[in-house]
Amino acid sequence: MHVFGPFDQFPVAEAGAYAPPVADRQMHRTLLDVLGFDHAVLIQPSSYGGDHRALLDAVERSGGRLCGIGSCDRSVSGQALSELRALGIVGLRFVGVAGPGGGRYPGTQGLDMLELLRGDMAHAGMHAQLWADLDMCTDAAFSAAAHGMPLVLDHLAGMTPDDRPGSYRFDRMADALASGTVWIKLTYMRRSALPLDYSDMRATVAALVEAAPDRVIWGSDWPFVRMDARPDSEILLHQLHAWLGHDAFVRCVRDNPAALFVTGSHAGKMLDGPNGSI
């Protein structure tokens, strides 16, 4: 999930890839309460580049409900990363997709930056998050396994409805997930060709959960920037529950995120909620 604003306190960059929606910390907290989540993870939006003030403000005001994923370039020091980690920023995001006009996506850092920061990130106890196409995600996943650094893959790692078991691309990703250091987010609405329906992704999502049941985590992606038909988070949750069944659903929204963000050696300083949910 993302937060934007309040804009009078935290203005966004003028050269961003999209016009940011109104989605401040209070709106985000209200949504968590409606959905019944005790905890969530906020991702630094590209509109803020390396300015973490809005993200840190939301995490600080959350009473332990939130942790964050930041975005830093080569100018950041190891000490600064450790300081961000102490403030609840548990990882950094890297992007391999092109921006609207080609070239690097505005306000983001590429995989080249991950290679430069990997050592300081590991020392600070941070993991990496990647938004890229499937081939790049899979290559990065094998590299992460070789380096022993946890890696979270955004937006279903770029999978499409055609990526099913038996296909080269699916099976290669399944092998990478088996390494035990790679996680994949089920933000399948980003990969569907059926707006507000998404049923074309059902078989791929179900097969991925079956292939790597402990490596999949749900992602809302609220407030759904760059989407003409914006989903409803409650409907998405009910849909995933219907697709997977109760036990697998609970792993995706509670148990697996807890293993990644709470109980792991690279965990964030999030508190166990009264319901034990994430």
% of the chain with per-residue pLDDT over 70? 94
Task: Output the pLDDT for position 146.
Answer: 80
Decide if pLDDT at 268 tops 70.
no
Decide if pLDDT at 278 tops 50.
no
Q: Are 246 and 222 in contact (CB under 8 A)?
A: no
Decide if pLDDT at 260 tops 70.
yes
pLDDT digits (tens, 9 = 90+) for 170-184: 999 999 998 889 999
Strand partners, 42: 68
Decide if pLDDT at 147 tops 90.
no
Predicted TM-score of the model (pTM): 0.91
Task: Output the pLDDT for position 263.
Answer: 57
Task: Output the pLDDT for position 50.
Answer: 95
Q: What average pLDDT does the segment 62-74 reach?
A: 96
Lowest-confidence region among 85-99, 231-245, 254-268: 254-268
Nearby residues of 112 by Cβ (< 8 Å), 6 or more positions away: none
Decide if pLDDT at 5 tops 60.
yes
pLDDT digits (tens, 9 = 90+) for 41-61: 999 999 999 999 999 999 999
Q: Are 220 and 278 in contact (CB under 8 A)?
A: no
* CATH class (in words) of the domain with range 25-263: alpha beta
Tokens of 266: 């690279």
Q: What average pLDDT does the segment 246-269 reach?
A: 79
What one-character-per-residue DSSP string does 93-162 give? EEE-SB-TTSSBPTT---HHHHHHHHHHHHHHT-EEEEE--HHHHHHHHHHHHHHT--EEESGGGG--TT
- DSSP annotation of 190: G
In which residue are the tokens 């390494």 written? Answer: 179
Decide if pLDDT at 40 tops 80.
yes
Q: Where are the domains of the chain?
A: 25-263
pLDDT digits (tens, 9 = 90+) for 197-232: 999 999 999 999 999 999 999 999 999 999 999 999
